Structures are given as C-alpha cells and as structure tokens.
C-alpha cells in the first residue's frame, strides 16, 4: 500500500442527547458550539518481569501493557441550553411564572441610602412604582430609587424614609421562565453525534460518542463578562451491544 501523508483538519458540528436511566436518547438537540472535545484513550501501565539473574540483572525479560483507567472525555462549550446549563451549575430546574398583577399599598419600611426588599421580584418597569406616606400623599419619584428586576427600593431623600410607607406596583408577566436551584451534585450520561468535516479534502465524516458519564469539571464564573462557558468531564463507556465507546467514520 502506498504511503499517504493525509493531513487532517477536522471541524465538528455535534448534537447531544441525554440518557434516561440506561436508555439511550433517540433524538438530539443542537448543534452545540463545542470549543474543546478531548477524548483520552484508556490509560495503561507496563507490568514488567525484571531479571534477577546475573548477566541480565535489572533488565526487562517481558513487559505487558495493562489497562488501569478507562478513557475519558472533556467537553467545553458556550451553548447553554437548559439541560447543559443545569449540569454545569449543578441545578434542579423548575418553571418560573407569574401574572401581571397589581400589588396595591404594600406596607414597607424604607431606609435612607439602603436597599430594602419588596415582597416581589421581577416588577413591571412599564408601570412605575408609586410610594406614598398615606393613601393620599404621594412621594415624588425623584426621592427614591427602584430596582425593578430585583424588587428593591432605596430612599434618596428623608421625605421617602420611614415606617409604614405604601408601595403600589405591578408584577412583570412571566410565562416561560426558568428557575435553577444550583450548587448540587449533578451528573448525566450523554451521547454526542454529528458531522465531522475534514477541511483539507472537504470530505464529511461522522463522529459518534456513544456514552459518557459526565459531571461539571470547572468553576462557573458569573461576573467575568463575555459568553458563558461550561465544562463537563467523565469516563467514556461502551454501551451493551457496541464494541467501543466512540466511533469515527470517514471516507478519505
């Protein structure tokens, strides 16, 4: 067979699916913008038979490579669908909904230059909050500040300070919100499948990672700015009925 130099420059477009128990996914979501996908082969160590005989003392009479650890996968990405984000931050996800209801005359105690929480968050900024000292005395809006998203109010003038102030506002309508109870130990079995283009020839291949047991592998920085990046790592698994943990198919 003639020697083929065959340089390879592979670019992937991969989709993902999560296992349900031990049942493989039958549909996929994606593609995911994966920026790193390291697949490490099975770790092996040499088991040696060392000579204790004169003339060959210390030499290896035989050596066998013995597997010690399974292959692993490390995946970094900056697509953040709900399932992947919940894995990255270790979260249980629930629905977040509320109606665009008015909250009339909520009794609060305001403090000068200090944020005080209201009874609700995610307020409707299109309907400005009205602060009153009584049912008939309105305080000028320039004398206090409202964080409508966080549901906080801060007095900026002594006229807006005191016990028993009345706040009237509306809640923002939320119909398809998401709530992440994060910081838990989360893991999942994941399958990756999609196209792997070899850029030198332009020929298309396929990459299938049948099963990997993954969990978060790096800190998630909420305040650094830029696009959020997630990282998952874990063992490659050969599912029942398959001969390997992953498969690359290519027609050069």
Domain span holding position 168: 100-172
Tell me, yes or no, whether 104 and 88 share the same domain: no
User: Token pair 């968050």 is at which residue?
Assistant: 121
Residue after which a domain boundary falls, among 138, 172, 206: 172
Question: Is there a domain that residue 59 lies in?
Answer: no
List the structure tokens of 184. Answer: 């838990």
53 assigned to some structural domain: no
Domains of the chain: total:
2
What is the pLDDT at residue 134?
83
Please give the pLDDT value at position 109: 97
82 and 192 assigned to the same domain: yes
Asked whether the beta carbons of 122 and 189 are under 8 A apart, the reply is no
Residue 64 lies in a domain: no
Q: Residue 55 domain-assigned?
A: no
Task: Please tell me whether residues 188 and 227 are part of one structural domain.
Answer: yes
Do 75 and 194 lie in one domain? The reply is: yes
The secondary structure of residue 201, as a DSSP letter, is T
pLDDT of residue 251: 82
Q: Using alpha carbons only, how large is the chain's radius of gyration in Å?
A: 30
The residues that bridge with 234 in the sheet, in sequence order, are 73, 214
Q: What percent of the chain has pLDDT over 70?
A: 100
Q: What is the pLDDT of residue 80?
A: 93
DSSP H stretches of helix in the chain: 82-89
Domain final residue pick, 145, 172, 199: 172
What's the CA gap between 205 and 55, in Å, rounded?
54
Q: Which regions of the chain are under pLDDT 50?
A: none
């Amino acid at each position: 067979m003639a020697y083929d130099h065959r340089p390879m420059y592979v670019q992937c477009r991969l989709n993902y699916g999560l296992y349900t128990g031990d049942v493989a996914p039958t549909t996929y979501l994606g593609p995911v913008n994966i920026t790193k996908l390291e697949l490490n082969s099975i770790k092996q160590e040499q088991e040696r038979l060392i000579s204790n005989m004169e003339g060959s003392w210390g030499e290896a009479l035989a050596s066998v490579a013995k597997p010690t650890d399974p292959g692993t996968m490390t995946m970094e990405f900056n697509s953040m669908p709900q399932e992947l984000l919940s894995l990255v931050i270790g979260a249980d996800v629930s629905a977040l909904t509320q109606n665009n209801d008015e909250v009339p005359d909520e009794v609060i105690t305001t403090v000068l230059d200090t944020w005080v929480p209201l009874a609700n968050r995610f307020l409707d900024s299109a309907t400005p909050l009205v602060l009153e000292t009584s049912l008939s005395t309105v305080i000028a809006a320039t004398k206090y500040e409202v964080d409508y998203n966080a549901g906080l109010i801060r007095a900026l003038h002594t006229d807006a300070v005191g016990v028993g102030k009345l706040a009237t506002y509306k809640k923002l309508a939320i119909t398809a919100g998401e709530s992440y109870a994060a910081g838990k130990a989360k893991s999942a079995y994941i399958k990756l499948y999609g196209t792997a283009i070899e850029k030198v020839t332009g020929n298309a291949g396929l990459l299938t990672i049948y099963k990997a047991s993954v969990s978060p592998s790096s800190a998630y920085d909420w305040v650094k700015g830029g696009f959020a990046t997630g990282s998952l790592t874990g063992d490659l698994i050969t599912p029942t009925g398959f001969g390997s943990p992953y498969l690359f198919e290519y027609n050069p």
